[in-house]
Structure 1
Amino acid sequence: MASQQKFEGWVGLDKDSAEGKLVWQAYDPKTFEETDIDIEISHCGICGSDLHALRSGWGPTDYPIVVGHEIVGKAIRVGKNVDKKISVGDRVGVGAQSGSCLRNSCRECTHDYEQYCQNGQTTTYGGKWPSGEKAQGGYAKFWRGNGHFVFNIPEGLASEDAAPMLCGGVTTYSPLKMGGCGPGKRVGIIGIGGLGHFGLLWAKALGADKLVAISRGTSKKEDAKKLGADDFIATQEEGWETKNASSLDLIVSTVSGANIPIMKYLQLLDVGGRFIQVGAPEDPFPQFHPFALIAKRVSVEGSAIGSPKEIEEMLQLAADKKIKPWIQEMPMKDANKAIVQFEEGKPRYRYVLKN
């Protein structure tokens, strides 16, 4: 039962855990509060963030840590003060964020921008709850956290498909909506991986007039076409930025390498175009010249995950449009094998662990 004092899951004890050295053991969940929900986990997606955290890639990680923030399962305990219509037995999910200040005085929290709350946030793992207790994630049997960030999974959407949408999916859905993706828009998605494949699926579902997949080589060209791309740009080919200059209105970049050719990417934008970065590298981007922005009034922006409102909207769109991400299920017991293969770039295009 999730009401037990200890939970069990795959625990990272140090940087070596990123090399497939997670240890299955007991750990302390947060103390249950009446705003919390306990979830019996059925599925948890593997996200690139998990590897960054396990190896302390974005800064020192507070070990021990249980990663995983694409969680789907059954609500088995619902606090009486949960602010959503969730009942025991409901199929629910939680993504990368599990807490924000939720104050009536907070501009972000009262305008559906909880993911940008400046008064304190709790990430689903690797962070701290206001009590000071550690937040632990979904490579486990159970999860406990704030019900405001837990979502009903719509009927018709499989649990294994919903799980990777809760971080990877909304990370691309949010900037596409922010950028006005839809009829009349020419959209480019940089990187055909776990995030990028979602970007193509969403852009197609939102009705983009033209959808272009952008990758270094052509090995994923056929996949991109199957995911909805109308055209394909391979950046290993000479002169790609000149040939395709001023051809896009919106670019969403999912790549996390530090040495991306951002000046060339900006050439692809038409007047008033927007470049939105969602991939999070461990090192800084190269500098770019302000004239790249001035000459065509283009903007460079960033976007982080998505708000609860956007997640609910995205899940319903996926159910309505019967959107099917490209996933590979693996047993939760094989989590170590899965993260090693993930790091080697083997998934096409998301791994989902199943209890």
Structure 2
Amino acid sequence: MVDGKFNNITGWAAKQNGTPLEPWTYEARPIGTKDVEIQIQCCGICGSDIHTIDSGWGKTNHPVIVGHEIIGKVTAKGDEVSHLQIGDLVGVGAQAFGCLESDCRACSRGLEPHCPKGVFTYNAKYPDGKVSQGGYAEAVRVNSHFAIRIPSEISPQEAAPLMCAGPTVFTPMLRKGVKKGDRVGVVGIGGLGHLALQFARALGCEVTAFSSSDNKKEECLKLGATKFINIKKEEDLKKAKMSLDYLYITSNAKSNDYNKMASWVDYEGQMCLLALPENNLDINPRTLIKGSKYIGGSLIGGIKDIEKTLSFAAEHNIRPIIEKMPMSKVNEGIQSVRDGKVRYRVVLEN
């Protein structure tokens, strides 16, 4: 048995809905032969964290430490771990375990997030019933295959959002073969959307940013948008009609008008949901059938997808715009996200 540095891990936990996070210590899972222990340097605040804290997607296993944009150094590893060394700087996204078996319909195709035995980084249960705990903490233990080495060109703080927000937007572009000259739209210019603009630009696409105000127009153009559409202006919406091959929806607002969004997509175009609404979608099937349009969604990226995201970001100088805060101010960071004041990702530092 390998002994780690953090057999008891302290972090900031949600103990019940509607209350601030507070310090909490839990007994870490034993380090298995394929596991690593990571001393956390920083962790991004993702919208998924808020949904979990609030039980917006279903019952939360309280107490829970959220956070799945984790960057830190390996402090211990199991006997079978050969691809990582003590001291390596690694990142962990939204998944901490998967079966990785050759006969798994998900893992064998690089779709580890869909593994029936998969465990998300927090608020999920291992087979023994213990709840996984995330990155608003001093350390974390995960299956080593889900700890990805960080390229030296990217700082730890900038790498954090690239562990979740990055692959969330880049994976569907990779899988659908988005290429130079394609017309790509991005709805919701926030933690996900501002990265989607950069990835689409780097792929050589014609990129349109959709927002509900002009406040972010200049920044969107700098990030890679070639066009900007204010969805509150009728003259802008007329320009958007049938103008896209792909539309990436990074907003999960209950007010989203999916029928209107579909009108921006050309024949045979695709709408892809990247943010999970707490309510069901309202879209007229005739909109899709008569227009030969498609709607779907994409979860987080698999191991190879995250690795490609990091290498592509390093090569093309794609970086998140971040606001740094000490981990001790986690509740202030969460409130800033709730209030929509963040440009565009809060990263908590230990």
Q: Deviations over 1:268-299 (max 9, x none)?
A: 1112100000111111121x222222223210
TM-score (norm 2): 0.96
Answering whether residue 287 of structure 2 is matched by residue 292 of structure 1, we say yes
1:131 deviation in Å?
A: 2.5
Secondary structure of the residue aligned to 2:234 is coil
SS in structure 1 of the partner of residue 192 of structure 2: helix
Match of 1:150 in 2: 147
- Does the 8 A contact of 2:31 with 2:77 survive in 1? no
Task: Give the Å deviation of 1:179.
Answer: 3.1
Map 1:151-166; keep pairs closer than 5 Å: 151-166=148-163
What residue number does 1:335 align with? 330
- Opposite residue 13 of structure 1, the aligned amino acid is K
Question: Do the aligned residues in 2 keep the contact of 1:30 with 1:135 (CA within 8 Å)?
Answer: no
Equivalent of 1:140, from 125, 137, 145? 137
> In 2, distance between residues paired with 1:178 and 1:274?
13
Residue 266 (str. 1) matches residue 268 (str. 2): no
1:225 to 180, 203, 221: 221
Cα offset for 1:239? 5.3
Query: What whole-Å deviation, never above 9, does each CA across 1:201-254 have from its counterpart, x for those lacking one?
Result: 11111221x100001121111111111100011111125443322111000000
Residue identity opposite 2:185 in structure 1: G
Runs of at least 5 residues in structure 1 that lack an aligned partner in the other structure: none
Whether the 8 Å contact between 2:230 and 2:237 is mirrored in structure 1 is: no
Aligned CA distance change for structure 1 residues 4 and 232 (closer, same or farther; 3 Å): closer
- Summarize the Cα distance change of 1:92–1:4 in structure 2 as closer, same or farther, 3 Å threshold: closer
- Confirm or deny: 8 A CA contact 1:29 1:136 kept in the other structure: no
- Distance in 2 of aligned mates of 1:86 and 1:100: 18
Is 2:108 the partner of 1:110? yes
Q: Secondary structure at the match of 1:194?
A: coil
Aligned residue-pair number = 348
Contact 2:97 2:143 in 1 (8 A): yes
Counterpart Cα distance in 1 of 2:7 and 2:349:
23
The aligned amino acid for 2:126 is: W
Corresponding position of 1:176: 173
C-alpha displacement of 1:2 = 4.4
TM-score (normalised: structure 1): 0.95
1:13 aligns with 2:25: no
Question: Kindly tell me: are residues 4 and 242 of structure 1, through their superposed partners in 2, closer, same or farther at Cα, counting changes over 3 Å?
Answer: closer
Structure 1 SS opposite 2:107: coil
Tell me, yes or no, if structure 1 residue 49 matches structure 2 residue 51: no
Aligned ranges for residues 30-49 of structure 1 at < 5 Å?
A: 30-49=29-48
For 1:301, the equivalent position in structure 2 comes to 296
Contact 1:241–1:264 under 8 Å retained in 2: no
The residue number in structure 1 matching 2:234 is 238
Equivalent positions of 1:51-90 (< 5 A) are: 51-82=50-81, 85-90=83-88
C-alpha displacement of 1:300: 0.2
Q: Give CA-to-partner distance per residue, 1:11-52, whole Å, 9 cap, x none.
A: 1110123xxx11112112222211111001001000011111
Instruction: List structure 1 runs of 4+ shifted beyond 6 angstroms.
Output: none
Write the distance in 1 (CA, Å) between the matches of 2:194 and 2:111: 25
* Rounded Cα–Cα distance in structure 2 between residues aligned with 1:179 and 1:292: 22
Q: Which runs of 5+ in 2 are unaligned?
A: none
